[in-house]
Chain A
């Protein structure tokens, strides 16, 4: 099925049919999908102009979940911003924490100890697995069956239980800290995590068996929603949609951070750029994540999980009431917060949905002067018109599910 690698021209040609439908359209009917809609992923509004079943124009409207995160961050110290980053892409919170902490550590010049880096990798990959399983359930539910959604959520529970064991929360983890992570791996985590990551690849094989060769899914997803690599660059579409178009760009390999340069994994790439390939890419990513976690657990170094940097990171909680130096550090970090040097920094990481970047401009104080979260869903939501115009309404649901937009990510 994905044996032939189409060239860019061939992919563009396949898209020409849908362009022709747009040009042939007659009188249009305007339908508003959203903001409350069982299929839209959050409160995303798409105003469609329909000619029969064909979509002639789409005008996306976002902003229903805008919470003013960037303004809030300007009044907070760098430690206090971490729970805010949780709420960006709330389905993979730790990854947002991770991205923010990477950017702040780059700005302040803090080095994360080895154990901290490995724990961050493990938690990020668990978030990635949870995100992709949930994506699969929602995608298939949008195509018509609720049964598969319930099955996927059952499997996601295993991963969420692990995350709860590690971070204390299922959804908004707030686990990252400047200089490392909040807590060490608890007892029994290693054993339980290994059980889950041994079990998950079999489950993924089962999902693939159900869906990959399912005639109905094949008809609904193959050749639908083709987005070439040039379109992806122009519209800043990254992550699985970019990799499904044949570009092997994964920031975990290209600009490695945490422990990603010390583990061995493959980048999932497909070449057709349609919904079917995005499904294949995400399934492969789950398997690769299981591999990464296993390698991290096998090679986990000893040592501190949080940098012992007095000016930039928090002390260990157990020392705060016993040791006066730790108490002073705690007081300083909580009341004033770490001071960043004057300058600006931009750091992007590979979030499950795409590339998430954080831009911080600091004037030398304890609070950032300007912070900007460049989230993948913002651009994916913007890329809906070129993806969907000329396709049919039922395809729109499948395509929109495949590019994975979450409104917390989009509106910030």
Chain B
């Protein structure tokens, strides 16, 4: 079998396995969110289905599948049906360019080279930012097509919030881009070779923090979850969705969570690299998995601890605090990189 055919077979296997693994992970992450929420709040969370309640997500999925699929009579039905998928699919696409192990190098699987990435794309970072922007369409279309005042308000608020924070996000990752001298995720991880003090979170500490806060807004999580604030707008742009359509929104949110945790660990924390060279024998995917879990936990911790900002305060933080800081970070990085050579 020649190399291209082997690569094609590997590609197909990776392309099928990756979404499946993510979906499995998301099912358990939803369960862990509820369990952690319980522990933070002094209660136990779900315990009924499975050992320690771990099959809760599957129970939820079955329940959602069995519900009636209500579509409001006066809604734009085509757009209403399409909107959840506009959010759902781009999240997976980013995982296609993220490396979860060493890329390039010698043959290591049955005599053929196995690249631990689905598509070694030169401009992975730009793809990530672009797909994040497409997700905004999904949110606004969901709100608009529901033909309800609440949903419209929620959709517009969420859309405006996501757009504002995408700018800060974009500028902060340009700092990483300058340091790695490339827009490809593979090169960024390779640029963090060595022990953990070579990782980009130390020189880019300001950029990293800005990115973390901006992604909290992208993910519509507390303290920036005004769009789905239960207490204020029932469920915002999700109000009219029921059954599995709502399930897809929830799934999309958690897939985004996993993907963004992966991006944070890739950009700032070395991706699939081990923190110390001696621990290199543990394969790359395992390290990436550990880092993704750590960041998912961090996002959950922030969600269950902090209050929600009011909408105008949220927007003013995005535009008046994060954006200037990220531009400043970019400027300083550019100067240092060009001076240090």
Of A216-224, A290-298, A305-313, the one with at least 4 CB within 8 A of chain B: A216-224
B319 lies within 8 A of chain A by Cβ: no
- Which B residues are CB-close (under 8 A) to A219? 309-310, 313
A397–B310 Cα distance when bound, in Å, is 11
B137 lies within 8 A of chain A by Cβ: no
Do the beta carbons of B305 and A145 come within 8 Å of each other?
yes
The residue on A at minimum CB distance from B226 is A394
- Which A residues are CB-close (under 8 A) to B230? 38-39
A151 lies within 8 A of chain B by Cβ: yes
- Which B residues are CB-close (under 8 A) to A393? 232-233, 311
A395 lies within 8 A of chain B by Cβ: yes
- List CB contacts (< 8 Å) of A142-185 with chain B: 142-147, 149-151, 154
- Which A residues are CB-close (under 8 A) to B307? 140, 143-145, 214, 216-217, 220
Do the beta carbons of A392 and B305 come within 8 Å of each other?
no
- Which A residues are CB-close (under 8 A) to B311? 53, 392-394
A143–B42 Cα distance when bound, in Å, is 20
- Which A residues are CB-close (under 8 A) to B309? 216, 219-220
**Residue from the set B149, B150, B232, B307 with the largest chain A CB neighbour count within 10 Å:** B307
- List CB contacts (< 8 Å) of A1-56 with chain B: 29-31, 37-39, 50, 53
The residue on A at minimum CB distance from B314 is A394
- Which B residues are CB-close (under 8 A) to A147? 37, 40-41, 304-305
- List CB contacts (< 8 Å) of B117-171 with chain A: 149-150, 153
Do the beta carbons of B310 and A394 come within 8 Å of each other?
yes
Do the beta carbons of B232 and A397 come within 8 Å of each other?
yes
B312 lies within 8 A of chain A by Cβ: yes
- Which B residues are CB-close (under 8 A) to A150? 41-43
B331 lies within 8 A of chain A by Cβ: no
**B34-57 CB contact bits vs A (8 Å, 1 = yes)?**
000100111100000000000000
Do the beta carbons of B42 and A31 come within 8 Å of each other?
no
B320 lies within 8 A of chain A by Cβ: no
- Which A residues are CB-close (under 8 A) to B304? 145-147
- Which A residues are CB-close (under 8 A) to B41? 146-147, 149-151
Interface magnitude class on chain B? 20 to 34
**A39-B232, A151-B41, A395-B310 known; A31+B305 contact, CB < 8 A:** no
A216–B306 Cα distance when bound, in Å, is 8
A151–B43 Cα distance when bound, in Å, is 9
Partner of A38, one of B42, B231, B305, B312: B231
**A50-70 CB contact bits vs B (8 Å, 1 = yes)?**
100100000000000000000
- Which B residues are CB-close (under 8 A) to A217? 307
- Which B residues are CB-close (under 8 A) to A394? 226, 232, 310-311
Do the beta carbons of B223 and A29 come within 8 Å of each other?
no
For the residues of A in contact with B, the DSSP-based class is helix
B229 lies within 8 A of chain A by Cβ: yes
A317–B226 Cα distance when bound, in Å, is 56
- Which B residues are CB-close (under 8 A) to A149? 41
**A142-B231, A150-B43, A392-B312 known; A31+B149 contact, CB < 8 A:** yes
Partner of A29, one of B42, B149, B308, B313: B149
Do the beta carbons of A144 and B153 come within 8 Å of each other?
no
A369 lies within 8 A of chain B by Cβ: no
- Which B residues are CB-close (under 8 A) to A39? 230-232
**B14-47 CB contact bits vs A (8 Å, 1 = yes)?**
0000000000000000000000010011110000
Do the beta carbons of B308 and A38 come within 8 Å of each other?
no
B286 lies within 8 A of chain A by Cβ: no
- Which B residues are CB-close (under 8 A) to A345? none
- Which B residues are CB-close (under 8 A) to A151? 41-42
Do the beta carbons of A145 and B306 come within 8 Å of each other?
yes
- Which A residues are CB-close (under 8 A) to B308? 143-145, 216
**A125-147 CB contact bits vs B (8 Å, 1 = yes)?**
00000000000000011111111
B297, chain A: closest CB distance, angstroms:
15
A220–B150 Cα distance when bound, in Å, is 22
- Which A residues are CB-close (under 8 A) to B43? 150
**A144-B308, A151-B41 known; A216+B153 contact, CB < 8 A:** no
The residue on B at minimum CB distance from A145 is B307
Do the beta carbons of A144 and B223 come within 8 Å of each other?
yes
- List CB contacts (< 8 Å) of A362-407 with chain B: 392-395, 397
**A31-B150, A144-B222, A397-B232 known; A220+B42 contact, CB < 8 A:** no
The residue on A at minimum CB distance from B225 is A144
The residue on A at minimum CB distance from B313 is A219
A143–B310 Cα distance when bound, in Å, is 9
- Which B residues are CB-close (under 8 A) to A214? 307
Do the beta carbons of B234 and A38 come within 8 Å of each other?
yes
A219–B234 Cα distance when bound, in Å, is 23
**B283-314 CB contact bits vs A (8 Å, 1 = yes)?**
00000000000000000000011111111110
A395–B40 Cα distance when bound, in Å, is 27
The residue on A at minimum CB distance from B310 is A394
The residue on B at minimum CB distance from A217 is B307
A123–B251 Cα distance when bound, in Å, is 49
A146–B303 Cα distance when bound, in Å, is 10
Do the beta carbons of A392 and B310 come within 8 Å of each other?
yes
B146, chain A: closest CB distance, angstroms:
14
The residue on A at minimum CB distance from B150 is A31
**B229-250 CB contact bits vs A (8 Å, 1 = yes)?**
1111110000000000000000
**Residue from the set A31, A50, A145, A394 with the largest chain B CB neighbour count within 10 Å:** A394
A141–B43 Cα distance when bound, in Å, is 16
Do the beta carbons of A144 and B229 come within 8 Å of each other?
yes
- Which B residues are CB-close (under 8 A) to A140? 307
A21, chain B: closest CB distance, angstroms:
12
Q: What are 18 sample pairs from A and B whose C-beta atoms fall under 8 A apart?
A: A29-B153, A39-B231, A50-B153, A53-B312, A143-B308, A144-B229, A144-B231, A144-B306, A144-B308, A145-B305, A145-B307, A146-B37, A147-B304, A151-B41, A214-B307, A392-B310, A393-B233, A397-B232
| Chain A residues close to B by CB (< 8 Å) | 29-31, 37-39, 50, 53, 140-147, 149-151, 154, 214, 216-217, 219-220, 392-395, 397
| Chain B residues close to A by CB (< 8 Å) | 37, 40-43, 149-150, 153, 222-223, 225-226, 229-234, 304-313
* Further contacts, 15 of them, CB under 8 A, given A37-B234, A147-B37, A220-B313: A30-B149, A31-B150, A144-B225, A144-B229, A144-B231, A145-B222, A146-B304, A150-B41, A151-B42, A216-B223, A216-B307, A217-B307, A393-B233, A395-B310, A397-B231
Pick the 3 closest A-B CB pairs, nearest first.
Answer: A144-B308, A150-B41, A39-B231
